[in-house]
Amino acid sequence: MNKPTESLLLPSDMQAWLAYLKAEKRYAQHTLISYEHDLKRLVQKNEAKAVKDYSETDLRLTLAHYHASGMQAKSLARMASCWRSFFHWWSIKNRTDINPAKNLKSPKTPHSLPKALSIEQAQVLLDTPAPDDETGIRDHAMFELLYSCGLRLSELTSLDCYYLKTPDYESESWLNLDEAEVTVKGKGQKTRILPVGSKAIEALKKWLLVRENFVKPQSGNALFLGVRGARITPRVVELQLKKYALQSNINIDMHPHIFRHSFASHILQSSQDLRAVQELLGHANISTTQIYTKLDFQHLAKVYDQAHPRAKKK
């Protein structure tokens, strides 16, 4: 059995583990960045401690420290998951049974329901006239597509105008306007094909007519472009949506993921087909999708309260 590395989280160890997660586990870049921060927090709180000298108590005390400093339960749970993954990888790499995180439990996180627009709110928001300029045309197309397909923000910004394959590049996510569908590569590098509704197609056609006015050498095949011609960033989408929501007088703190929640909730209300919603959202586990049944129940309960003769409040 090889002797374990004595030093704590050497840069080479950290980078090797992150490279493993990226190449083998297909983790998203934002997850890798979060995990790197989580490992650095462990180092900061346990300075000069060798990996082999860690105990589960050390990890628990570190979690308690960050909890006391105000870190939210969801972030603490992710941090514990990060440490479990790292120490498991390290123990296998070094052929040792030393793994202080083996039985480390994640803090319980509150199960809050996702916020979703009502059908009426979604219609008001998307029917609000966009600013009569090319940026407004682009924004309206993005928001129609988010709601039409239930896309994650990262999936929206990664879309290409069409499938393209060259010696140096191959599209992973793209629009097929003729077939009225998008192909997206989501979490876990899983590809799914989604239909695009007529309202979104109409908005996309308008955008594609003016997209060429944004094109610069760095534009490539990106569907949605920023004002400087590069592929639009998630942050720009978030900021533009907040402006759009204010203009339409929607009294809700809008962010792009609300369209995804609204898409799922409204499809479930109409179809009652949980499995179909799971496939459309790209959830690996149906238990992730089941939270939308609670939103659906809230909607049904509201209808009941308004309609049932013995439920109406005097």
Catalytic residue ranges: 152, 187, 257, 260, 283, 292
CA angle 77/78/82 to nearest 5° reads 120
Burial class (CB in 10 A: 0-12, 13-18, 19+), 146: buried
Residue that is written with structure tokens 């309609």 in the block: 307
User: 70: helix, coil or strand?
Assistant: coil
289 CB neighbour count, 10 Å cutoff:
21
User: 182: helix, coil or strand?
Assistant: strand
- Contact between 258 and 117 under an 8 Å Cβ cutoff? The reply is yes
Burial class (CB in 10 A: 0-12, 13-18, 19+), 271: exposed
Nearest Cα residue to 206 out of 124, 126, 140: 140
In eight-state DSSP terms, residue 129 is P
Residue that is written with structure tokens 């003769």 in the block: 309
